[in-house]
Structure 1
Amino acid sequence: MKNFFSILILVCAGAYFLMSCQNKPIASARESKTDTLKIRKIKDTISIVAVGDIMLGSAFPSKSNLPPDDAMNSFVAVEQYLKGDIVFGNLEGCFLNAGNSSKCIGSNPNSCYAFRMPDRYGLIFKNAGFNVLSIANNHVGDFDARGRKNTARILDSLQIKYAGQLNKPFDIFEKDSVKYAFCAFAPNENTVSIKKIDSAKILVAELKKQVDIVIVSFHGGGEGANFEHLTRKTEIFYKENRGNVYAFAHGVIDAGADVVLGHGPHVTRAMEVYKNKFIAYSLGNFCTYGMFSLKGPNGFAPLVQLKINSKGDFLFADIISVKQDKINRLTVDTNHTAFKKIQTLTNFDLPENQLKFEGNGRISLK
């Protein structure tokens, strides 16, 4: 008898629902369907600001290697441009107040490339507007697990999103009604591998099922002026496999990525729009104090102000060219060197590209 009444209640409820739907106007029925499917309206245009390598000064091997203003004015020349829904950079080093680097054992610390920024420098990133950072590179692990764990602690405390280490391959978050996934790859120890493209594609495909926009960052390719060009092949640098960044970028977009942001070569490289998705193959040295070479092309970089639509498709990008030297540090380059370099490299390395380079620094589709 109890089962009979339960069934009767369900039947009556179903009949009431059907009658209610028949009596509702079409618009209401559509709204009901929308509610059921949980379709969300997100903003029509999403703004992503992207820059390359950032290391504000290392207290190793001594505090004399920190900038004279304690890095407080690191971004002052470009702060007006660091505004967007996402403001991204590559954290080329860890946050750690003290300690020696195991990679420098047996060598002169003054000629060893190991970077640890004081913990307090984290707030400089936050105040500048950065809200997403890659920790997939060869310097976040310069001070082993201590540096990696402390970096994660600092970024968590500042609510800056990050990814790229094996214990943090991705981050999913929501901002202004848009759901994002960020994942980062590199060829280095303890990072999510750029060399395992099939695995990267699986991760990206799974993330795309959960979010609106998937942003992928990679640290890959050879380093320096001899590696400005995109080869579309596996790149070897000092006998180390640095990945095939062209195959990687195309692969993750095939899997569902909306934006791909590259760094690692310390120079500017070509840009591309593939399947309506934006790729920057290298964003160069953006703000790097101390032992970084800033000679020639190493001293120029783009600050990319990218606009995409709600589907993640490329709309346009404005390139703010910046430059660095040992005295003036980071400044805006009124000669637009990085923009001109991107145009030259893109047209040479990717002659099939459909990009239009305008005199004001804008990149759009032809």
Structure 2
Amino acid sequence: MSGARRRHCLRCLLVAFCCALGGAVAAEPLRLLFVGDIMLDDGPGRLVAAGADPLAPFAALLRDADYRIGNLECPVATTGTPLANKIATFRAHPRVLPLLAGRFDALAVANNHSGDYGREAFVETLDLLASQGITAFGGGRNLEQAHRPLWIERRGLRIAVLAYNEFKPRSFEAGPDWPGIAWSEDSHVVADIRAARAAGADLVIPFMHWGWEREPQASARQRQLARLMIDAGADLVVGGHAHVTQGVEYYRGRLIVYSLGNFVFDGFDYAAARSGWVLRLTLDGSGLLAWDTVTARIDDDGTPQPLAGSTAPCGRRGDPLIRDCRWP
């Protein structure tokens, strides 16, 4: 065999090996976890200042996932002043950051509290999260950054997660040259989903901050937008903001979880706000393989505890209806 032919055969073998290896990696499912609102001021903030860890009861479950995402419902900063026209404003001290690091890979900042202490505190939050290796998404130093997807590239999958807020005040929205969050304008959301697909996303997941507080069922607006996003190419939709869990359904065979409710949060005077879901997704190249929700019961100080023996929505690929599963 000539040297040139031998080199050609070696290249063919190398390509075949790489393809086989890539297929093996892609065949191994990815376990992606979402939680709802994380607010580390007030009661949870006082716990951290006293040396306690409000995330400790869920440490093992968070550690078990391949990638962990939550909604950060407050700036983490020392700068800024509270907005005078808001009923509730939050700002967590940077001492909370070591508790988030290693527990969460990415945190959405597209919500109605990220701007509570102004743009300076918002930018400080972005910088502090980055210093801990946590990716902030759904917000940035300008409009382009705010709409940039969170890219997850693990086990042969390339997943784009997009975060948006559509609950007032809209003054938190990013602009061409000022920092802020991504606002849920239908045409922009659809364009972002399609752009993520064009950029090579195997799966696209919008993570929404929407709906009305205290409402146990999704609004007509939430249902309309969820279907629009799936029609535009989203593989599933996850939501929050209502402070209570909301309905779960399939549309065109794709999962919609309208609200995960609270995760770490205190100060609520109604029982439904003391219960949230941790959403666990098992994904492969074809989309959602299996999923379940673990109920978190939240105490007076805002600390969530896994509720053993509870039942919550779950499902597997091909299920025509939502099921209930018991955990653990």
Query: Structure 2: how far apart are the matches of 1:47 and 1:65?
Result: 28
Query: Structure 1: how far apart are the matches of 2:303 and 2:243?
Result: 16
Query: Structure 2: how far apart are the matches of 1:360 and 1:325?
Result: 21
Mark the CA change 1:30 to 1:200 in structure 2 (over 3 Å): closer, same or farther: same
Shift of 1:34: 6.0
Query: Structure 1: how far apart are the matches of 2:306 and 2:68?
Result: 18
The one of 154, 158, 165 equivalent to 1:186 is 165
Mark the CA change 1:332 to 1:221 in structure 2 (over 3 Å): closer, same or farther: same
Superposed CA RMSD: 3.3
Shift of 1:273: 3.0
The one of 306, 323, 330 equivalent to 2:281 is 306
1:230 aligns with 2:218: yes
What secondary structure does 1:269 align onto?
Answer: coil
Query: Structure 2: how far apart are the matches of 1:65 and 1:121?
Result: 9
What secondary structure does 1:250 align onto?
Answer: helix
The one of 302, 306, 309 equivalent to 1:332 is 306
Shift of 1:72: 3.9
* Structure 2 match to 1:8: none
1:218 aligns with 2:208: yes
What secondary structure does 2:160 align onto?
Answer: strand
1:354 aligns with 2:328: no
1:74 aligns with 2:48: no
1:113 aligns with 2:88: yes
1:1-366 matches, within 5 Å, as: 31=16, 42-58=26-42, 66-70=45-49, 72-82=52-62, 83-103=64-84, 112-127=87-102, 129-165=103-139, 166=143, 167-170=145-148, 171-187=150-166, 188=168, 189=170, 190=173, 191-194=181-184, 196-209=185-198, 210-224=200-214, 227-231=215-219, 233=220, 244-289=221-266, 292-293=267-268, 295-311=270-286, 313-327=287-301, 329-334=303-308, 336=310, 339=312, 354-361=320-327
Between the two proteins, the alignment pairs up a number of residues equal to 301
Mark the CA change 1:115 to 1:181 in structure 2 (over 3 Å): closer, same or farther: same
Mark the CA change 1:294 to 1:56 in structure 2 (over 3 Å): closer, same or farther: farther
Q: TM-score, normalised by structure 2?
A: 0.80
Mark the CA change 1:101 to 1:159 in structure 2 (over 3 Å): closer, same or farther: same
Query: Structure 2: how far apart are the matches of 1:42 and 1:263?
Result: 30
Shift of 1:271: 1.5
Shift of 1:324: 1.0
Mean Cα deviation higher: 184-193 or 296-305: 184-193
* Structure 2 match to 1:239: none
Query: Structure 2: how far apart are the matches of 1:95 and 1:33?
Result: 43
Shift of 1:228: 0.8
AA in 2 matched with 1:184? A
* Contact map agreement 2:283 2:290 (CA 8 A) in 1: yes
What secondary structure does 1:360 align onto?
Answer: strand
Q: TM-score, normalised by structure 1?
A: 0.72
Deviation track 1:127-149 (CA, whole Å, cap 9, x = no partner) reads 3x211211110000101101210
* Contact map agreement 1:182 1:214 (CA 8 A) in 2: yes
Deviation track 1:286-337 (CA, whole Å, cap 9, x = no partner) reads 1113xx31521111111121112222x2222222111112158321223627
Mark the CA change 1:124 to 1:297 in structure 2 (over 3 Å): closer, same or farther: same
What secondary structure does 1:56 align onto?
Answer: coil
Q: Higher Cα Rg: structure 1 or 2?
A: 1
AA in 2 matched with 1:267? V
Query: Structure 2: how far apart are the matches of 1:356 and 1:245?
Result: 19
Mark the CA change 1:40 to 1:193 in structure 2 (over 3 Å): closer, same or farther: farther
Structure 2 stretches of 5 or more lacking a match? 174-180
Identity fraction in percent: 22
Runs of 4+, deviation exceeding 4 Å: 27-30, 32-35, 38-41
* Structure 1 match to 2:177: none
Query: Structure 2: how far apart are the matches of 1:39 and 1:308?
Result: 15
Query: Structure 2: how far apart are the matches of 1:206 and 1:34?
Result: 26
* Structure 1 match to 2:176: none
Shift of 1:193: 2.5
